[in-house]
Structure 1
Amino acid sequence: MVPVVLVSRRWLVWGPLLVVWQVGAAWAVDQWSSWEWLRAISAVLAWLVCLGVVLWGFGSAVIFSRRGFWVPFDGRGRWDEVVAREDLALTLRVGAKYGMDRVVHFDRVDDWPATQRILDERLPSDLPGIETTEPHEQWRQGLEEHADDLLRRIAREVTPPASERTWLRPEDRPFAVHQLQLSFEPVGGSTVEIRLGEEWFPQIRVDGCYAYAPELDEDDDDAVEAADDVMAEAAAILVSIFRGAHRTQLPAWRINDERGKTWDFYPRPPL
């Protein structure tokens, strides 16, 4: 398949007209205006308009080849990496570096019949499905390191129960990401789970109830120190749970540790 380049028809119509109009206006000013500063400004403006139209055209294009595709400013991929399709949106097997599914849209050239035809020709009707997506290696490594760090902090004070790691697909809502879940062996008959990746504070669940994030210093400009405080607080909650902290009945319940600190758990995650 010879590479095919499609450009939005809107750019094909308005782009050249805009360039011609601006270049013509600059020529007219240069010929008839006696104001030197206006001639200089019109020339600069003409070049800026030409550059803007070029970038606009680049951002309105899609390049198809035998092996894959490239949508400037949106993404590129190979046909064999596509696991799901919804009309002109393709989902790739490996997610984005920031945790979400990697979806490439072809809406910019939806006014060309060739767009639909090329996608129909290159993609089978029985794609593996969106449930087969997996997190990007960089996102995976980052959350694995956070999980290891959290377990090391817990192990300094108490031996944590054995745990199993599971990757969870993004939920069906905007900006959802792949999450790493640690499921621990029952502690005193209770189920304990941790989810990393979705929120700034690890999502801790005990018997289905969620720990509300503690009040930390939101004015802390040191991102490294703030992240350390978050992990330290999460580790403290889990240490108390694994030590069998006393529970106080609430709409759900509250745990209290020997240092007088408390954490509340509720049936729904914090908003």
Structure 2
Amino acid sequence: MDDPLILLLDNGSVQPESTRNLRRLTEALGQASGRTIHPVSLRHADRIAAEALDGRAAQTLGTFLGEQLGLGVRSFLAIPLFFGPSRALSALVPELVESLQSAQGPFKLRLGDPLYPLPAGEPRLARILRDQIDPLIPQSAKARVVLVDHGSPQPAVTEVRLRIAEELHAMLPSGVAFRQAVMERREGKEYDFNGELLERVLDREAQRGIDKPIILSLLFISPGRHAGQGGDIATICSDAQRRHPGLKIHVSRLVGEHPYLIEILRDRLHRGLSAAQEA
């Protein structure tokens, strides 16, 4: 069978820097794999003005697939830039494919594995996080690390963070305390599995004392509404430091800035291509 057209798929953001990062990763993955790969967002990114993206408008999945189907392409492989089995992958993408098939005829969109597939896992993600916080841990190793992610009402997505957290915790010096936090969660005890909001975790840690710095380990790939310059995380940290004078908070770099991520994506791509050829 013909090779599928390959795309690197993220959830999308209205922040231009998110699309810029997607394009950077796509280019790096193309160079590492020797393949032509297209940067595509599931949603949101088409709201960014083309002028903010060097004159090239972002592509969202529905529009991109529709254009390619019009050109006669019928086989696609999407490599998810997602940590785990998000509803975006399990529900939104299939719904979109079904709608396009009804309008433009049959085609195949195969989804590769996410960055941390269950149950196999991916130990390189914890190593990325460890590398990103290593320069921020004082020589005395007296610090507190808080792993923070987006948060999800889906237990399987939360399991990904919990497993990465366990792996990262095992890599830290014995004098480093370890916590977890989320940026979003739903109200109600039925969602307690998701974890505590970052603001509450920071307040509680500050009440325990301000002598040890807090290091935020960001389980985020790209800058967007939460992570990156001017995001919610920066605002929450600034507010916490105003409420607790003397509290020191250091924020790690993003997962998408580490070269190991391209290695992981290249492996997902090779596995996806092998599965497509065997189908």
**Which category describes the TM-score, using the shorter chain as reference length?**
under 0.3
Q: TM-score, normalised by structure 1?
A: 0.27
Q: TM-score, normalised by structure 2?
A: 0.26
Q: Which has the higher strand share?
A: 1
Computing the radius of gyration over CA atoms, which structure comes out larger, 1 or 2?
1
Per chain length, whose mean CA-contact separation is higher, i.e. which structure has more relative contact order (CA < 8 Å, sep 6+)? 2
